[in-house]
Structure 1
Amino acid sequence: MLDNEANNWGRLIKYHRQRQGLRQDDVAVGICTPSYLSRIENGVVLAEQTVYEMLFNRVGIDLNHEKENDEINRSLLETMYAKLLSNESLTENELTRLESLQNESFHQEIDLQAALVYSRYLCSIDVLNEARVLLEKIGPLINWHQDRVTQMFIGITTNVHLSFLEFQQIILREEKHNVSNYINSAHRFEQANYFYHLAFAHHRNYSFQQALDYIDRATQVFSHQYKPLFQLKLYSMKGVILNDLHRYQDALVEFEAGQDLLENVPTIQTPRQWSSLYNNIAYCYECQGSFSKAMSYYEQANSFEEDMHLVINWIRASYQQRDKETLTKLFLTYPKERFEVPHHRYQFLLLKCASEEEITIAQLKDVEELVFPYFKKQEYYSLTLYYAPLWARLYEELRAYKQANICLTYAFTASEQVRLRMSS
């Protein structure tokens, strides 16, 4: 009998004893001492198989039936968890079964697994706050061993942190506690998912070399598995990281591999995947100063799936290309009201103001005081590094050198933060 299974039986005996209002003396009589039963229930000792059978019989539970039922439920939960990790939807029957397994008191390991899978399901439908509350209840019960509950908890909490844009929490947990050691015995796809998420977190934290190291680990662990959508994510993420390391040709190689995969695997050919890939290619060309190519790819990306993030990128590339005709068309088609995400709306204000034929110092200052403190607070260093020097140049053209210096200070501060994170 496995240790965690025996501990589980101890918790189950305690649960059924308490539900029936029985004292430890009542259950233990003729089998063991009450103190020994207490240690069994609390997982302090592991008893003989026959002892567990007699104790289960005393509380009216068939141990063999319980084992069989647990095995069926465990297999079902693993199937559902694998589907959720692969971005597949659960069937109505699976969801009904998953909901029926929810239990307010986690008296068995299977209850913890059911709650974890349910929290991952909530993430998949963007019910994030409810998922977080459930995970906070589970957290104190995690033993932090190389067991299935711990592995699921690591994967799911990492996913929630990403959903809340809590990148440093993911990084610090791994650096302080090496939680990846707990998933060494998990399925290779789960390990690859975790390393991919670490790469994503480091990339968003501007620690690009660490991000590259983790995406390479994810790729290595994932090798020889057929999951095209995840393979596409690996190509795209590595390309994005290489682009931010200014390794543009290497980045394009990854994006081309992703494009080849998309063209040959119909099951992953969705507008979102095409749009995301073309957006990444466009940004790579934009970073190289090939603004005309960037505009073309941003336009193609938006034709697959209209996305205001793509639109603002398209406007920015058009501004850098000095393509007034395209800019005018885009400003008319996509007015400020259509941008709901704050940093999209602020970029729109910056680009619209910068495109005006005549700009006053007062106009520049109004936009500056609204936008740059927000970029600083949200740690949008890459946006500051692009727009602050632009604003400084516009101030200089109007001989407002003091204001230009303030904007250059924004850019210097942002560059120092990026430098520190890249060297950490």
Structure 2
Amino acid sequence: MKGSLIKQNRKLRDLTLEGLSKGICSVSYLSKIENNTIQASEKIYRLLGERLGIRLIDINQEFDEEIHQTLLSWHEASQLRDFTLMDHLKNKCEIALQENHNIDLLNLFKVIAARHHMTKTNQLLDNGLYKELEGLLVNSTNEYQFFYHKVIGLHYFLKFELKTASQHFLKSLSLLNQISYNETEIYFHLSLTYSHTRQFVESNVYGKKAIEGYKKSLNYSKIVDSIMVIAINYNRMNAHTIAEKYFLDLLKMAKYQLKPLEKRRVFHNLGAIYIHQEKYDLAFDYLKRASSIETDENILKSNTTYLLALTCYYNGDIEKSKEFLASGAVLAEKYNHIKYKHKLFTLKCRMNNTMHEDFFLQKLENQIIPDLKQSNDFEDYRYFLELLAKLCFEKRLYKKSATYFKKANSINHSPKKDLL
């Protein structure tokens, strides 16, 4: 075990075998020490430790089950986003590992600390930490690999590199049966990732597995989150009646327990469903209820305001629609929500009957469509491609119309290829 500790710290300090062994022992001898095939003298361990700046003499390398359980509890606290408990358990682990130098426990500490940081800051791993965690994979335990692929999957999910994220989550899932840790979150991560890639069947399968697991652990908040993902999937599959049932059941089941943000999302999505069903009065009612709930998620504010403007437009209340257009434009500009700037602009042009004008077609072709493609918002990207194709057809620009219809249809028929 000392050999693994030496090798790990040597790589962290970018030292070669030659650089570390110089004046202490031969390169081949150090290589055997690092691979734990020989036991060196205390003097050599002391000299290597001094060069690396670590202690290698009289250290406790036993696998302490109590420390192990504290590490797992710390990871669970990160899943629950209990920041106070996270900080307490992190400190407890740091103190315990000052006296215990078991390499497997130290490695688990590092990968769980990375999750701790990401949970508290919602930020990506920096390059140094990413490479350090990757470097620990060699000869690591199944448990370390499980947590590693979860953390790296989250890293890529936050970068919206969804194909890479799903690959890491699936690797983590493949290790689940080889560890003693009871885990449900990996199913939720897969459900959420597949929802974003519009692989709704796969998302719902993993979402239902997540619900089963969270029911056993009585994690009410994550049950709600998992149901929400499934309901949104059905909505995006245009199975609006099924989606409506999920959201209404969620309101009924969780009437007094839903957090304000969760309730806002339910109201918002029901409003969107009723727009599709052309029940505009009902849509307006749910969207107004959504907008009355304060949220720090500014993009949700822009989204709800846009849908209110759209609902009023479809319902024939043009003046009210203009009011929401104006307030939505202020929000979109304030928070630089490019998508909603474009959607509000499009609705305004629709309202003013200027969608066939050259200025709108040029903006649609040269700015709106490229922006949505770059942001990976492929549902709206496809919608605006189809809109441009229809407008070009109506202006008898048949060749251009056919080109854009073909692009839109290619997204319909091969969403995975287009997105990933």
- TM bucket (normalised to shorter chain) is 0.7 to 0.9
Alpha-carbon distance between aligned partners in 2 of 1:151 and 1:119, rounded to the nearest angstrom = 14
- Shift of residue 147, structure 1, vs aligned partner: 2.1
2:217 is aligned with 1:225: yes
Contact kept? 1:189, 1:222, Cα under 8 Å: no
Alpha-carbon distance between aligned partners in 1 of 2:235 and 2:181, rounded to the nearest angstrom = 27
Alpha-carbon distance between aligned partners in 2 of 1:393 and 1:97, rounded to the nearest angstrom = 63
TM-score (norm 1): 0.76
Correspondence for 1:253 among 231, 245, 267 = 245
Contact kept? 1:349, 1:367, Cα under 8 Å: no
- Shift of residue 258, structure 1, vs aligned partner: 2.6
Greater Cα offset, 157-166 or 180-189: 180-189
Alpha-carbon distance between aligned partners in 1 of 2:7 and 2:266, rounded to the nearest angstrom = 54
Change (3 A) 1:156 1:206: same
Correspondence for 1:279 among 268, 271, 276 = 268
Alpha-carbon distance between aligned partners in 1 of 2:9 and 2:162, rounded to the nearest angstrom = 42
2:38 is aligned with 1:42: no
Give the SS at the match of 1:335.
Answer: helix
Give the SS at the match of 1:401.
Answer: coil
Correspondence for 1:134 among 104, 129, 138 = 129
Aligned residue in 2 for 1:3: none
Alpha-carbon distance between aligned partners in 1 of 2:66 and 2:325, rounded to the nearest angstrom = 58
Count of aligned positions = 392
Alpha-carbon distance between aligned partners in 1 of 2:316 and 2:95, rounded to the nearest angstrom = 60
Alpha-carbon distance between aligned partners in 2 of 1:312 and 1:283, rounded to the nearest angstrom = 11
- Shift of residue 417, structure 1, vs aligned partner: 1.7
Give the SS at the match of 1:142.
Answer: coil
2:117 is aligned with 1:122: yes
- Shift of residue 98, structure 1, vs aligned partner: 6.7
Greater Cα offset, 240-249 or 147-156: 240-249
Aligned residue in 2 for 1:242: 234
Alpha-carbon distance between aligned partners in 1 of 2:20 and 2:81, rounded to the nearest angstrom = 46
Correspondence for 1:168 among 144, 156, 163 = 163
Aligned residue in 2 for 1:297: 286
Alpha-carbon distance between aligned partners in 2 of 1:335 and 1:90, rounded to the nearest angstrom = 39
Give the SS at the match of 2:83.
Answer: coil
Change (3 A) 1:349 1:72: same
Give the SS at the match of 2:82.
Answer: coil
Correspondence for 1:376 among 373, 377, 386 = 373
Contact kept? 1:188, 1:222, Cα under 8 Å: no
Alpha-carbon distance between aligned partners in 2 of 1:411 and 1:318, rounded to the nearest angstrom = 29
Change (3 A) 1:197 1:412: farther
| Residues 159-209 of structure 1 deviation map (CA, whole Å, 9 limit, x = unaligned) | 12211111121234567xx5421122457763x322222222222212222
Correspondence for 1:67 among 51, 62, 70 = 62
Correspondence for 1:184 among 153, 168, 177 = 177
Contact kept? 1:119, 1:135, Cα under 8 Å: no
2:326 is aligned with 1:332: yes
Change (3 A) 1:325 1:198: same
Alpha-carbon distance between aligned partners in 1 of 2:339 and 2:10, rounded to the nearest angstrom = 57
Change (3 A) 1:24 1:393: closer
Change (3 A) 1:293 1:98: farther
* Structure 2 residues without counterparts, runs of 5 or longer: 14-18, 47-55, 296-300
- Shift of residue 229, structure 1, vs aligned partner: 0.9
Aligned residue in 2 for 1:10: 3
- Shift of residue 140, structure 1, vs aligned partner: 2.8
Alpha-carbon distance between aligned partners in 2 of 1:299 and 1:250, rounded to the nearest angstrom = 23
2:346 is aligned with 1:353: no
Contact kept? 2:244, 2:273, Cα under 8 Å: yes
Give the SS at the match of 2:292.
Answer: helix
Change (3 A) 1:395 1:206: same
Q: Note the aligned Cα RMSD (angstroms).
A: 4.2
Greater Cα offset, 313-322 or 229-238: 313-322
Alpha-carbon distance between aligned partners in 1 of 2:182 and 2:276, rounded to the nearest angstrom = 33
- Partner AA of 1:345 in structure 2: K
Correspondence for 2:339 among 339, 343, 356 = 343
Change (3 A) 1:316 1:324: same
Alpha-carbon distance between aligned partners in 2 of 1:262 and 1:162, rounded to the nearest angstrom = 29
* Structure 1 residues without counterparts, runs of 5 or longer: 1-7, 28-33
Q: Superposition pairs for residues 193-208 of structure 1, below 5 Å?
A: 193-208=185-200
- Shift of residue 237, structure 1, vs aligned partner: 0.8
- Partner AA of 1:380 in structure 2: D
Alpha-carbon distance between aligned partners in 2 of 1:392 and 1:121, rounded to the nearest angstrom = 48
- Partner AA of 1:137 in structure 2: E
